[in-house]
Structure 1
Amino acid sequence: MMIIVSSIIAVLMAVAVMVVRIKSSDKPVSPKKIILPPIFMSTGALMFLFPVFWVTGAEFLEAFTLGVIFSIFLIKTSKFEIKNNEIYMKRSKAFVFILVGLLVIRIVMKSILSTSIDYGALSGMFWILAFGMIVPWRIAMYLSYRKLHNELQSSNIQMN
């Protein structure tokens, strides 16, 4: 039952991410908008204060590594562009498909792994996976943003 509930929550969160991503492409990007989500998400690490969520070193490494691998797909579909002298996120049709694909993989993995890994540890592993995915993605986004920002600054200086 908990697997079904957590899967429904994951689907709702994915839909929310897609809506936010689509709407955000209409507004300029700022470093704060890139950096804050992983910081906010990091508060979830407090779950590991409770033994029910503890994972082994191998489970941590597996989850984090898989998160980093998944982040590659997000990095590849997160591009910026300059419009009206400001930096915007480019809309990407692939992003939605990748997000849905990652969600399906997550649900399948959770269904399979829940038969052999304790629910609390599995929850911890999926948080680690998500954190391992968002941190490299946001770092790559920030570096890409900084590069465009510097180009924009130097072109503005040259125009003056």
Structure 2
Amino acid sequence: MGQPLPVNHLTVTLGTVIMALMFIIIRLRSARKPTNRMKILMPPVGMSTGFLMFLYPPARIPLSWGLAAFMIGAVLFAYPLIRTSRFHLVDGDIYLKRSKAFIWILFVLLGVRMLAHEYVEQLITLQQTAGIFFVLAFGMLLPWRLAMYRQYQQIRKQVETTAVE
């Protein structure tokens, strides 16, 4: 077999930027189609499998680090996403309303994440850094998606109430 590709800083940074751009493109394209419960709730469910990384001993982090990362994601990163994610009704279907601020917020969050990653990476192992930033990302995603689901349910209830009348 061939030699594994060397993992260096440039490779990781480019990979992160490419993944972020793919995420933004997917989010923009998904706003063209109606949404439903599964489209809102499945991303955190799918992402939760990433917690299996902590079965690998070098990736383990102290519980306090994990809680801090989750809270930073939930409070600092999720809040702007929650504020800029809105749904609207079109012909009985619920769509996510596009927001120009949403795209800029994603880029700012990416920049903050990459700068923080640079700093944290110098203090702890690469595997622990990956674990912390995974928990941070999950901390951002879960409250954001739960807020979206709550908003979706409110609109769905309005649609059902209007249909009954």
Coarse TM-score class (shorter-chain normalised): over 0.9
> Could you say what the CA RMSD is over the residues aligned between the two structures, in angstroms?
1.1
Structure 2 unmatched runs, 5+: 1-6
Give every structure 1 segment of 4 or more consecutive aligned residues whose post-TM-superposition deviation is greater than 4 Å: none
Answer yes or no: is the 8 Å Cα contact 1:82–1:88 preserved in 2: yes
Q: How does 1:81-120 map to 2 (within 5 A)?
A: 81-120=88-127
1-structure distance, mates of 2:102, 2:48: 23
Aligned-partner SS, 1:89:
strand
User: Per-residue deviation at 1:154?
Assistant: 0.6
Amino acid at match of 2:156: H
Structure 1 unmatched runs, 5+: none
Aligned to 1:154: 161
Deviations 1:28-55 (A, max 9, x none): 0100000111111011111000111100
Identity of aligned residues (%): 37
Deviations 1:70-104 (A, max 9, x none): 11111111100001111000000011000000100
Answer yes or no: is the 8 Å Cα contact 1:22–1:91 preserved in 2: yes
TM-score, with length taken from structure 1? 0.95
2-structure distance, mates of 1:104, 1:89: 25
User: Could you tell which deviates more after superposition, 88-97 or 19-28?
Assistant: 19-28
